[in-house]
Amino acid sequence: MLYLHIGTHKTGTSTIQQSLRDSYEVLKSDGVGYLNLSYNIIKAREVMRAAEFDSNLVDKLSKEISQAHAKVGDLPKLVLSNEAFSGEPYNGYLNSKVVAEILRAAIKVEEVKVVVYLRTQDQFVESLYTQSIHEGGSKNFTDFLGNFSDHEAFDYHRLVSDFQEVFGVDQVIVRSYCDESNKGLLKGFSNLIGSEHLAKWAGGDRNLAYSRNALEIARICNLDLDQYSKQKLRSALQIVLAKKRGESFSYFDDRSRVEFLGRFRDSNSKIGVEHGTQGGKDFFPNFVASPELETESPDSISYDDAASLILKLFEIGAGKKPNRLKTTFMNSAIRLVKRVGPLERVARKIYK
């Protein structure tokens, strides 16, 4: 039996994968082998972005899986986890059928249980938008939503049906991310694969996310920075203007959120009926009015002004790799932004 955990994205996959890596040896005592692929992000994205069935890609993936299987040994249960295996999130998983076919052809284990977690589309898109800014994007949220105009984008019932058609109706396990998070995501996954030890994992470091201020500043700056400078800025903002525990903000206003969710009413209802309880009413949470967006930048300067200051830092040398003029550049930058406390700290992190 192989449990194929395909995400989706933004549903705690990093936590599950880190727990599996950290528990690699102890899982064996539960009869569970984690197939820790030597996949880098580029290889994973080949599968994620596949537009058509590719036999060469199947062969490469099959080889990776076979090598990981040989390394872990002959155990009754195997686990393979990668959110790239659900398809391309930046087009709404329109290629899920092709990805499912590639995975089925690459996995030589006969019995496969596909595990997929689903998050309401509004929360998913908001989280994905934040990720896009982390990755160097510069679109505003309205323009970002334009990526998903296809009526089948984020149709979860279609996505699940694609995997059911390839792997079998009874071979796809669907879970609500919201429900599992409330109960304990890792506990639920541990019970699903039958591991006592995984549920005891102590946990790793929390991913550093942007605060609302940091995200808007990064979005404006990204348009004018090269990749090296974007990485430097990201590291600085994640430390100085990181999202605090319990902090929440939204990109939708209440009206646009209701309108967006209305696109998926029928699809989500089918998912709830087929994979939830109580007639499916408990699968996705009911919409609750969101908090207002934060509107102030650090120390009440505008986002544009904050971004202009940071871009000036790179103009006078922050974008350069460290050299003997590093101290001179840093001192100049600090003087430039000293009147804005948080941005002074950003400058120091950039030059570190």
For residues 237 and 134, state if they share a domain. Answer: no
For residues 240 and 110, state if they share a domain. Answer: no
Q: How many domains does the chain have?
A: 2
**72-75: long-range contacts, CB 8 A cutoff, minimum separation 24:** 72/28, 72/33, 72/34, 72/35, 72/36, 73/28, 73/33, 75/28, 75/31, 75/32, 75/33
For residues 27 and 64, state if they share a domain. Answer: yes
For residues 188 and 320, state if they share a domain. Answer: no
For residues 239 and 141, state if they share a domain. Answer: no
For residues 189 and 216, state if they share a domain. Answer: no
251 domain residue, yes or no:
no
For residues 187 and 221, state if they share a domain. Answer: no
- Per-residue model confidence as pLDDT tens for the chain (352 residues): 999 999 999 999 999 999 999 999 999 999 999 999 866 666 788 999 999 999 999 999 999 999 999 999 999 999 999 999 999 999 999 999 999 999 999 999 999 999 999 999 999 999 999 999 999 999 999 999 999 999 999 999 999 999 999 999 999 999 999 888 888 999 999 999 999 999 888 776 666 788 888 888 888 888 888 888 888 888 877 877 778 777 778 899 999 999 999 999 999 999 999 998 655 566 888 776 655 555 455 555 567 767 766 776 666 565 555 554 455 545 555 555 555 567 667 766 666 6
The predicted model scores a pTM of: 0.86
For residues 156 and 118, state if they share a domain. Answer: yes
For residues 33 and 130, state if they share a domain. Answer: yes
For residues 105 and 142, state if they share a domain. Answer: yes
109 domain residue, yes or no:
yes
The DSSP output letter for 195 is: -
322 domain residue, yes or no:
yes
Q: Which CATH number characterizes residue 134's domain?
A: 3.40.50.300
For residues 194 and 229, state if they share a domain. Answer: no
147 domain residue, yes or no:
yes
Q: What are phi and psi of 176, to 5 degrees?
A: -85, 120
63 domain residue, yes or no:
yes
Query: Last residue of a domain, which of 166, 200, 234?
Result: 200
Report the distance separating Cα 102 and Cα 283, nearest Å: 29
270 domain residue, yes or no:
no
- What is the domain extent for residue 331? 212-244+296-351
For residues 108 and 31, state if they share a domain. Answer: yes
6 domain residue, yes or no:
yes
